[in-house]
Amino acid sequence: MRHVAILTALLLAPLATLNAADKPVGKPNILYFLADDMGYADAGFNGGKDIKTPNLDQIARDGAILKAFYVQPVCSPTRSALMTGRYPSRTGVYSVVRPHAPWGLKLEEQTLAQVLRSASYETAICGKWHLGEFEPAYRPTQRGFDHQYGLWFGAIDYFTHCREGVLDWHRNDQPCKDEGYATHLIAKEACRIIRDKNPDKPLFLYLPFNAVHAPHQVPEKYCAPYPNLKGVRRTYAGMLSAMDEAIGQVLAALDEKKIRHNTLIIFSSDNGGPSPGKVTSNGPLRAGKGTIYEGGIRVCACVNWPGHIPAGKTIDEPLHAVDWYPTLAKLAGATPQQTLPLDGFDIWPVLTAGAKTPHDALILCGTQRGQAAIRMGDWKLLVGAGGNAKGTKAKESDQLYNLAEDIGETRNLAADKPDKLKELRTKYDEMMKTAVPSGEVSGGLKE
């Protein structure tokens, strides 16, 4: 619980008490782009060669690449971690919230949007919510967002905006029948919000695209530049190009409004790429979406704020989506009415001054209770991952890897390093001993 006390002090510290090197000029606008199911190595700035991503590459080039940025293996748990600063082991959001399921992110959780709105921010979400909607109280406009546009779930048709014949497109949580390609519509609305923003308030704009998640659909013109790619990979490339174009339009809107200079821009995927090698590329990382191997939870990410975050940096320190909650709250000068313990830390010194990660350990929950990994330094322990031992059909139990020497997690060192295994297992047991049940299994999270 040591870090909880530190976090509380950080969150409550007014901006006037910050060191000069850490102190931003005024409250920044905050723009968070969240891709859906994007491969770790599909952006040019992260080693991608197949697909053109000029706007993402520019964000990264003028800012910092986060080479060890962690999320959760699937959609809803990552969104929950980002919105609460808390691991799934605390929120119970281990798995995807299905359409009309009688549960969602607990109402007792104070979301990042609520925190920033309390600090006089205008708040907006354009894109995919995916944290519950079965009752109005669970929907975005009741969770801190002044404006909402887009989809509540995932896997919708990009042109009809329907899933299994049911429309899933909303404006301010009311059904909306706008016509057009989903990625284009999300960008258009985001640009409108920037253009019409309240001049007296900073803006928090959250853009969780449904791209590049299946179904794989995109206007053919976006596939034309990729004649050498085949099948779904070619369509995926077109979808990523369309999303990159949309991001460029939003950046242009910031320039036109003359607020780019005071806007913190964050980009990441919500989980690793699915079907790596066929649809996405996770580069040297093992496996993909849905797993707690690196390919499922270490994602493509970068951050940009000219004059504050040094350009051209690559940050190798392990960071997690939960860290944005306390970091952004502090930058905003917010004093969250949060009584629940946080797992995230303020990572501003890591981003701006070359500091080490504030985490002594990261917990990386799987899609069910009892399946998780822990990273401590270069070492990573997986519990309940279910992967096969190399060269056999046997299931491995505890798996231990040195990521500095083996980023592809090919050599399980559990038998060779019993002391290190014990050290990580002890820490894992300590951090997971209070893990809550899944909200899906418990049939609701309204308590």
Q: Could you tell me how far CA 374 lies from the centroid of its own chain? A: 18
Cα 343 to chain center, whole Å? 15
**Could you tell me whether strands 263-269 and 301-304 are parallel, antiparallel, or unpaired per DSSP bridges?**
antiparallel
Q: What is the pLDDT of residues 199-227, one digit of tens each?
A: 999 999 999 999 999 999 999 999 999 99
| Residue 441, pLDDT score | 55
Are 402 and 413 a contacting pair, CB within 8 Å? Answer: yes
Q: Share the mean pLDDT of the chain.
A: 92
28/304 Cα distance (integer angstroms): 12
Tokens, residue 232: 């779904």
In the sheet with 379-383, reading across from the earlier edge strand, the strands are: 362-365, 372-376, 379-383, 399-402
What domains lie within the chain, and their CATH numbers?
Answer: 20-353 (3.40.720.10), 362-442 (3.30.1120.10)
Annotation marks residue 130 as catalytic: yes
Residues in Cβ contact with 289 at an 8 Å cutoff, skipping those fewer than 6 apart: 37, 73, 74, 271, 272, 273, 274, 295, 296
Banded pLDDT at 14 (limits 50, 70, 90): very low
Each residue's pLDDT tens digit, 99-113: 999 999 999 999 999
Going by pLDDT thresholds of 50, 70 and 90, the confidence category of residue 19 is very low
pLDDT value at 383 more than 80: yes
CA nearest neighbour of 270 among 234, 346, 189, 324: 324
Catalytic residue, from 75, 126, 302, 365: name it: 75
Tokens 């429309």 sit on residue: 167
Q: What is the pLDDT of residue 439?
A: 84
pLDDT in tens, 153-168: 999 999 999 999 999 9
For range 297-325, the mean pLDDT: 97
Type of residue numbered 2: R
Please name the residues in contact with 17: beta carbons below 8 A apart, sequence gap of 6 or more: none
Residue 187 has pLDDT above 80, yes or no: yes
pLDDT tens per residue across span 385-403: 865 555 444 456 899 999 9
> 17 pLDDT band (50/70/90 cuts)?
very low
- Residue 161 annotated in active site: no
* Section 420-430 average pLDDT: 97
Average pLDDT over residues 367-380: 94
The number of residues in the chain equals: 447
pLDDT at 252 over 60: yes
- Give the global pTM: 0.92
Average pLDDT over residues 61-68: 98
- pLDDT the model gives residue 388: 56
Q: How sure is the predictor about 25, in pLDDT bands with cuts at 50, 70 and 90? A: low
Dmax of the chain from CA atoms?
63
Query: Where does 137-242 show beta strands of DSSP type E?
Result: 147-151, 162-163, 166-167, 170-171, 174-175, 203-208
8 A C-beta contact, residue 248 and residue 31: no
Q: Can you say whether residue 165 is alpha, beta or left, with left for phi > 0 and alpha for psi between -120 and 50 degrees?
A: left
d(CA 243, CA 57): 13
- Looking at 100, 126, 130, 176, which residue is catalytic? 130
Instruction: State mean pLDDT over 123-127.
Output: 98
Identity of residue 115: V
Give the C-alpha separation, 29 to 35, whole Å.
20
pLDDT at 234 over 90: yes
Task: Report phi then psi at 28, rounded to 5.
Answer: -75, 150
The pair of structure tokens assigned to 188 is 């258009």
The pLDDT value given to residue 396? 60
